[in-house]
A and B are shown apart, each in its own frame.
Chain A
Amino acid sequence: MALVHNIENGEARISEAMPGDYFALLKPRVMSLVVFTAFVGMILAPGGINPLIAAIAILAIAVGAGASGALNMWYDADIDAVMTRTAKRPIPSGRVTRGEALAFGLTLSVLSVLTLGTLTNWIAGGLLAFTIFFYAVIYTMWLKRSTPQNIVIGGAAGAFPPMIGWAAASGTISLESVVLFLIIFLWTPPHFWALALFKLRDYDMANVPMLPNVAGERHTKLQILAYSLVLAVVAAAPWPMGLAGPVYGLIAIGLGANFVRHAISVWRMEDGDATMVPAKKLFRFSLYYLATLFAVLLGERLFEIAHSAQVA
């Protein structure tokens, strides 16, 4: 009877969502970065981890990150609907309801944390739980809509995966893993502010206080430059710390100098420049920059492992 009643009110709904729509809730593109950086953290960490357990741990970290993405889409459905970049997501396009996304996100959060905690250790499990909480509650529900520094603090959530990978393999949080965290943490603001510069109107329409539409373009460009300078220095730190070798060190210095050069171009860009070419270039370069740094860290360590196996 209730169903008939609902139909009369136009509320009855049978889902047409495909599995792919649920997969889209996990933000697969963000997940791929999480998988990669967590894997690098795991490989760099001292102490061995069984390869099968490592694979399952990476999967749990990926699913946990995806779950926080689903919770983010559940909460942000209203602003996703008005931004061109996000309007086609499963909730604003009507394929998945908010309630379904919430249930999906919560279920996967619990399962991923329990899996990682029981199979590796509870430092890793606890870090994953904290990351999900940080992204879904601290960033999405609180900071994103209330402060233009949202991306600085929210960026921490995206910076945790290498630390979780490190903790899963070694059972500890050490200075080296904090440096890996810092590289992504410092990279996030210039990366997103470059995007916000050329997507300014989108964030304006959605009433999201991003730095360019609150503090102005000039101030944003200065902040991008400041973060880029600190990032270039911190990204080279794994070399003197002994976490990476000279190949990484030299590449990090070269790429860092290039990052700063792009940031200077953005800083010099005329206010109100409609094409925003330097900002777009910085945004694209920042993606390449982070992926390369972590790929070189990984490559160097794998080479070291292969070399020591040969010697033995």
Chain B
Amino acid sequence: METERKDVQPTEAQKKAQRRRSIALALCLVAFVVIFYVATLVKFGPAVMDRAL
């Protein structure tokens, strides 16, 4: 016989914490991408576009 499935319901505090963590993680990822974008431009300058097709 199949046992009844019990889903875990997060509390309001847990949901809020999860949302805040997700936002923080997203901001960190965006910052990381921007940092490497800027650093690439600074290090290579316009030469970054200088690629043979």
Contact = CB atoms under 8 A, between A and B. Distances in A.
Interface of A: 1, 3-4, 7, 12, 14-19, 22, 50, 52-53, 56, 59, 111, 115, 119
B2 to A, nearest CB: 10
Interface in B1-53: 3, 5-6, 8, 10-11, 13-14, 17-18, 20-21, 23-24, 32, 35, 38-39, 42-43
Given A19-B20, A22-B24, 5 more contacts: A1-B3, A1-B5, A4-B5, A15-B14, A16-B14
B22 to A, nearest CB: 10
B21 A50 contact: no
Contact of B13 (A1, A4, A16): A16
Contacts of A53: 39, 42-43
Contact of A15 (B3, B17, B42, B43): B17
Contacts of B13: 16
A119 B3 CA distance: 56
B11 to A, nearest CB: 8
Contacts of A52: 38-39, 42
Contacts of A19: 20-21, 23-24
A56 B17 contact: no
Contacts of B42: 50, 52-53
A4 B3 CA distance: 11
17 contacts: A1-B3, A12-B8, A14-B10, A14-B11, A14-B18, A15-B17, A16-B17, A17-B17, A18-B17, A19-B23, A19-B24, A52-B38, A52-B39, A53-B39, A53-B42, A115-B35, A119-B43
B43 to A, nearest CB: 7
B39 A56 contact: yes
A14 B8 contact: yes
Contacts of A22: 21, 24
Contacts of B32: 111
B47 to A, nearest CB: 15
A210 B20 CA distance: 39
Which of B18, B38, B39 has the most chain A CB within a 10 Å cutoff? B39
